[in-house]
Structure 1
Amino acid sequence: MEYEPPSISGSPTPVEIMDWISEMEMMFESHDCGNKQRIVLAVKLLKSVLLSWWKLVVDTMPKGEASKMSWEAFLVQLKMQYYSEHDLLEIKNEFQNLKKVRMSIIEYAVSFTEKMKVDPYLVLTELSKVNEFANGLPTKFGLMVKQATTLKLAILASKIAETQIREKGLERADVEKKISKSGSKVFGRGGGEARWCEKCKKKQYGKCSEEVTCYKCVKTGHYTNECTSSKRVCNGCNEEGHIANDCSKKKEAARPNIPSRPKARAFQMTLEAARDEADVASGTLLVNGLPTNILFDSGANYSFISHKFGGRLAFPVDKLNNALIVEFSSDKFIPVSDCIKNIIIGLNENKFHEELLPIELNSFNILLGMDWLSPNDTEILCKK
């Protein structure tokens, strides 16, 4: 069947011009037309006012130049004549506000591409085309479409999404139809068919009344909206006068069993204060070869090193398997999750290899608590 080329006449709109150009270019590709053949064939299809316009263009050009004109140059002349600034502005606004609404994906895609072709500067990149196309779709389409890398893929993804949404709608309608045909025998107390209950030996709509619990009086046999009691009963502890949200017993039971925090009352202690305490002692010992102020405190159950002194030793900081919550003597709590290993404390020609917890200390570089004092059978003799 021979293809009939599309003619164009009158005063076409920008969209009609673009439709004609699209049809012409499809014909050129199918017939493998060269540039010169394109112009000759296009001019033959111009009618009435458009033909008069082309004759005017030819008359204003140097002799012979019109026959050398490329297809692209011809399109520029055509658009200059029939695309006014007002037309372009109107199409731009329509394009930016274009929404699918009740259109099918095919109809929306055609409208989108038509308006986009009128002004190629509306969307300069492929990703911006995808984004604009997705913005005009309902939210349920958006995520799948925005993952596309080209407009062609975005249109394909939206077609797939449209099919899936339609099929889900048909499935839902089918289920609702089956439910309505079945008579809906056990969906609630207000309708359907009553069933014989072996437990209460009565006919019941839905659940047996003996299985129902009232959340107001915490008794079985009726629903909350049927309750005649004026008293509020807690369904957590079954006591009157409050509800479950205000139940102190329920809150107490839900409170996690938090292990006791390690003591560290000497953290803020100064050298002068340490001298007045009965269960602490202090002194200067060599720690990894450096003279260090150390506090021995039987009131603390862990051993610590100051951040500043730990930095001087330049040992790596490791992580504890289980973080500690440390209590200061000032009733403040801080988390400790680090430790420093390979610390060597020299005392009476003995060397103790320790693992200490870095923390902020005031007047001492190291504090040795009961985790060090007890294994080493240490006594603090305050009178000596």
Structure 2
Amino acid sequence: MPPRRNTRSNDSDQEGQQNPPPTDSTTAATAAAAASATAPACSPVVTFKSFQATKPPEFKGSADPVEAKAWLKEIEIAFALIEVTEEKKTEYASYFLKSEASYWWETSRAMEPEGLITWGRFTELFLERYFPDYMRDQMELKFLELKQGNMTVPQYETKFTELSRFVPTYVDTEKKKAKRFQQGLRSWIRSKLAILELDTYAAVVQKAMIAEAGSDSYMKERENKKRKVGASDKGQPQGTSQGQSNKKPGFQPGRSSSFKKPDTGNTGQDNRLQISSQQGVSRPPLPECRTCGKRHPGVCHRLSITCFKCNQKGHYARDCKIGIVCHRCKKPGHMIKDCKAPATVNNMIQAIEAPPAVDVQPLARTYNMSMREAVRDVDVLAGTLLVNSVSAKVLIDSGATKSFISETFVRKLNCLMEPLSGVLSVEIANQDRIPVSSYCPRCEIEILGNHFYADLLTFKLGEFDVILGMDWLTDYDARIDCKDKRVTLVTPEKRAVVFKGEKQAKKFLTMIQTKRLLRQGCEAYLAYVIDTEKEVSKLEDIPVVSEFPDVFPEELPGLPPDREIEFAIDLTPGAEPVSKAPYRMAPVEMKELAKQLQELLDKGIIRPCVSPWGAPVLFVKKKDGR
């Protein structure tokens, strides 16, 4: 009996023969596609090398918040480009911190707790360091105060975009951003855009640029028209009626007109002469007017001018001679500076006898000073002269309008005093006015054997006996040399007399001046001055000392006698010298210290001292701490 056939294996073999295993490339590709479709999608691995390939910028630390904010923005863009994970952001970004920024990050990271520092914490620390709150407030204020001003619309838009990054709350919507940009535009551009009611930022910027461009083209066209008109006017001949119609009498094109007060009666005539000469028309010269002294045709209008002071015709009030009275000779028509009459005291006193309604200024002025001040002052001269054969301290002061004599010095002279015809008001340095009613006529002043005379007003003076003022200096044609402190006078016989005032003597010499004088051979004396008039204290009047008169003799009998026992100070048993560490000084400082000490030793200011209780230092603190 034949063996029984296995039908299952046969069936499987038949199926295997019908579907053989895949051996070609097509079948492999199909299998790979099916596997990729069924397997989950995996993201590419981000490495530092791939992040560095984006070329992020470096940050070295800057005080400019714009630069810090821009660097942070560039780093975040690089993170988003290659999808850096949160765990790696801080590590990657900190690598690009250089110089000062790198030092800051090392310090900040050490102060943070152990563990991973998130990107949010890094951003917070970074902005706190390089973009603090006060900088944010400043940038916000700049944004709110931003105006177009002299900038063009593109320039204004660039500045607006730069500052808007720091204040996102003001530009978080399109409408708010467009409104804020429109508010900063020029008024005429803003008024044109207000009609359009634009809601988007891009539309506002575009319309503003169009409005500005149209205005620029209009202005250029207008300038071109002006240039063309100006060129046509220059090319037109001067003889045409059109060229003459634009000209007015007295107007010169190309020059700024000056509005001056015209001279009555002659300005128009002079202008006509000037215009005719400019037009090239030659005319014979006009005769000189006998009334005003000018050349003009027709009748002179000078006769029609009326003075408001005297109501007479022919002159102005500023040129009126009536009403001017000389205060010296009482004659009208001239002032005191032009008066040729001799100056006397009575004439001057009569000049101030004016009506009560008129405020008369003081006719005399003097500023009294001491002899020491006069010697130091370069504007005055002081010295000792003979006044009526009596020695007197005299001050020659050009600031005094009159000459004065002290009331106390008048009693020494026993000279004659005469009353003034009126009371003279004298103004002193503190603006006070003191009345003077008497004077000493023809007081004789002797200078180098020459006699000069002066009328001296009696006045209460200080240290000086006589003050010679401008009236006396004028009478003798005085010439004052302030540098050399001397005055040159001219006698009636036309002889020049020079008086030299006292100069301030130098009481002290500097060390350099003294050495120079000694080298030149000058003698020097060392004086030991004792005030013999000063009372010497007696021994009996001094407390405690009066109890031991034998200890304080008037004269020392000699040196103390030799003693058999040597003097010594017993120290405490076991005491040792105090050990004090020297100052810690650098070699350069020690060298400089030794140099200075040697200089002091050479000059004899200090001397060396050796003691077992000393220390190799300059100063040692004592037990009391001082």
Rg bigger for which structure? 2
Greater length-normalized contact order (CA 8 Å, ≥ 6 residues apart): 1
Greater strand share, structure number: 1
- TM-score, structure 2 normalization: 0.26
* TM-score normalized by the length of structure 1: 0.41
